[in-house]
Amino acid sequence: MHKYALSRRGWLLLLIPPLIVLGLLYLLPVFNLIRISFVEYDPQVGIIPNYQLGNYVELLGDGFYFEVLWRTIRLSLLTTLFCALLGYPIAVYLIRSTGWRQTAMFIILLMPLVTSVTVMSYGWLILLGRNGVINLTLAGLGILDTPRQLMYNETAIVVGLVHVLVVFMVISIAASLQSIDQSWIRAARGLGASPATAFRTITFPLSLPGLRTGALLVFVLSMSAYATPTLLGGTRHKFLSYLVYQQAISLYNWPSGAAMAVVLLISTTVLLFISSLYAQIGAMRANLRTSKTGTISGSMNAGSET
C-alpha cells in the first residue's frame, strides 16, 4: 500500500479545530474537577476556595466509604473473571462461524451494549423478581415452595454486569484469535499434537493479549458502573459511582463528590497498573524459560507478551 501523506500545514489545520473543541468541552472540565476536589466545603457557606486535602482525609477515615469501595473492586474482579470464562468459547465460535451466523452473533453481542442500561436492568428486574420466570420455574419444578427474592443482592449485580460487558471480552479475544497464523496450528497437528495440545500450547498463549485487553476494558467499565448496581443491587449494595452521584446531586457537596470521583479513577488506574506489572513479570519469566529450553511453546509465549 502506498503512503499518501499530508503536509505539516494540512495536518495542523485538520487538528486544531477539533482540539480546541475537545480542550474546552472536555479537558478544562476534567482539570477543574480535580481542582474542586481540593477546595473546602461548608454546608452553610458552600465552596470556600481554600486548597487542602480535607476531602480526601475525610474519605480515608470513613468506614462506610471503604466498604463500598471494596464491594466495587471485589464485584468488578468477579465480573471480569466470569466474562473471561463465559466469553472465551464465544470468541472461538465467532471466529469459526461465517456469513450471516457471524453477523447475527455480532448483533446479538452488541444488543446489550447499545441498549440503554436502564432498559436492560429493567429486563432483569422482570426475570428475577418474585413473579419472574426463574421463580416460577423453580417453583414449578418443586425446588422452591415460596417465591424467593433473587434481586437486590450482589449476585444480581454480577449477572447484570457480565451481561452488558461480556461483549468487550468476546470481541477482544476474537481479534487476537483472528490474527493467529493458522500454519502454526497445522504444523503442530502435523507433528502429532492433539487438538487439545495444539490449543493449550499455541492458540491459548497467542490469545492472551486479547484476553488481557478484554479484561482491562471489562474491569474499567464495571468499576465505574452506575445504573446496573443501583437498579439490581438495591439500596443496601451500593457502588462507588452511586456515592459520587449522591454527594454531588442529593447533598450538593461538589468537593467531596469530586474527591470520590478522583479516588474512583485512581483506584481503577492503580489496579490496572498492578495487573500490567504482573503481566510484565510473567513475560520476563517466560523469556528466561525460553533462553534455557528454547522450545517453540516457550518462545511463542514470550512473543505473545509483548
Partner 1 sequence: MILRAYVLLFVIFLISPILAISIGSLTETSFVVFPPQGISLKWYFAALEQRALLQSLAFSLVLGAISATAATVLALPLGLAIVRFSSRINNAVYLLAMTPAMLPAVFLGLAFLIGYSWVGFGGSSWPLIAAHVVMTVPFALSLILVGLRSVDGSLELAARSLGASQFRTFVLITLPLILWSLAAGWGFAFLISFGALEVSLFLSTSTTVTLPVQIYTTLDWSPLDPTLTAISSGVVIITLAVLVITARTVQMDRFLKRGRS
Nearer to partner 1, 57 or 110 (CB): 110
C-beta of 53: minimal distance to partner 1 in Å? 19
- CB count in 10 Å sphere of residue 163: 21
Gap between the Cα atoms of 193 and 187, Å rounded: 9
Q: How far apart are CA 292 and CA 145, in angstroms?
A: 62
Q: Report the residue number, 108 or 288, with the smaller CB distance to partner 1.
A: 108
Which of 245, 242, 241 is CA-nearest to residue 254? 245
Among residues 91 and 302, whose Cβ is nearest to partner 1?
91
CB of 115 to partner 1, least distance (A): 5
Q: Is the dihedral of CA 277, 278, 282, 288 positive or negative?
A: positive
Where would I find the H helices in 37-153? Answer: 54-60, 63-96, 99-114, 117-128, 133-140
175 or 283: whose CB is closer to partner 1? 175
Joined together, the cell numbers standing for residue 3 give 503512503
**Set of cell numbers at residue 288:** 528466561
Nearest approach in angstroms of CB 136 to partner 1 is 8
> Could you give the C-alpha distances from 119 to 4, 126, 142, 274, in angstroms and in order?
45, 11, 31, 35
* Beta carbon nearer to partner 1, 17 or 294: 17
Please, what is the minimum distance in Å from the beta carbon of residue 289 to partner 1? 26
Least distance to partner 1 from the beta carbon of 292, Å? 31
